[in-house]
Amino acid sequence: MAHTLTPLPYAHDALEPFYDKATLEIHHGKHHQTYVNNLNAALEGHPELQAKSLDALLADLNAIPETIRRKVINQGGGVWNHNLFWAVMGPNKGGAPTGKIADAIQNSFGGFDAFKAKFKENALAMFGSGWTFLLVTKSGNVEIQNWPNQECPISQGHKPVLVLDVWEHAYYLKFQNRRADWIESWWNVVNWDKVNELYAAAK
C-alpha cells in the first residue's frame, strides 16, 4: 500500500501569527508531499518493503537493500519527521509544559527556562539542514539531540517526543535568515499535551 500524506491536524492559518499560513501551505503541501511521493517511488518493485509500515521500515534499515537504503532514509525520514512536527504543534498552545514531561524537563535540564535555552542553542548550532529533537534515548534518558538532513532517531532505537524543523524551508519565507526568531516564535505553538502523550508512550 502506498504511503500517503498525513493531513494537518489544523487549518493552514491556525498557527498564525507564530507560524504563517503561506509557509505552512508550502511546507506541508509541497515539501512533505514530495517526501511521500519520493518514498513511494523508491519502494517501487519492492513489495516486501511496500507492505511494511513507515515505522517498521525506519526501525530496521538493515532489512532494506543497499541500492535503495539511502533513499528510504532520506525520503522515509522526511515523511516521519514531518508527521511528528505537525503533531507536536497546535493552535492556542505554547506556554510551559505540564504533567510528566514537565517533571522530566525539570529533572534532566533543571527547569523549563534552562531547557529552552539548551534547545535553542542546539537548534542554532545545527549546521545546514536538520532537526532538533527532545527524545527518550534507547537507554531511557531524556535528551536534546540534533539530527542532520532527514535522519530519523527511531532508526537508532530512540523515541522522539518533540521536534523542531530547522531546515530553511521551514521558516525562510517569514523569518528569512533569522533562525533564532523562528525558534522563539515556535515555542508559542508547541502542543505539550501531545508531547506528554508521546512521552507516556515512550516510557
Residues paired with 133 in a beta bridge: 145, 163
Nearer to Mn ion (CB atom), residue 50 or residue 146: 146
Rounded to a whole number of angstroms, the minimum distance from the CB of residue 111 to Mn ion is 29
Nearer to Mn ion (CB atom), residue 10 or residue 112: 10
Where do contacts with Mn ion occur on this chain (CB under 5 A)? 165, 167, 170
Nearer to Mn ion (CB atom), residue 77 or residue 90: 77
Buried/exposed 70-93: b ≥16 CB within 10 Å, e otherwise: eebbbbbbbbbbbbbbbbbbbbeb
Rounded to a whole number of angstroms, the minimum distance from the CB of residue 85 to Mn ion is 7
Rounded to a whole number of angstroms, the minimum distance from the CB of residue 171 to Mn ion is 9
Rounded to a whole number of angstroms, the minimum distance from the CB of residue 28 to Mn ion is 9
Give the three cell numbers for residue 154.
Answer: 527511531
Nearer to Mn ion (CB atom), residue 40 or residue 83: 83
Nearer to Mn ion (CB atom), residue 78 or residue 97: 78
Burial of 20 (0-12, 13-18, 19+ CB in 10 A): middle
Identify the sign of the CA torsion 54, 137, 164, 86. positive
Query: For residue 77, which amino acid is it?
Result: G
Residues paired with 29 in a beta bridge: none
Residue of minimal CB distance from Mn ion? 165
Rounded to a whole number of angstroms, the minimum distance from the CB of residue 26 to Mn ion is 10
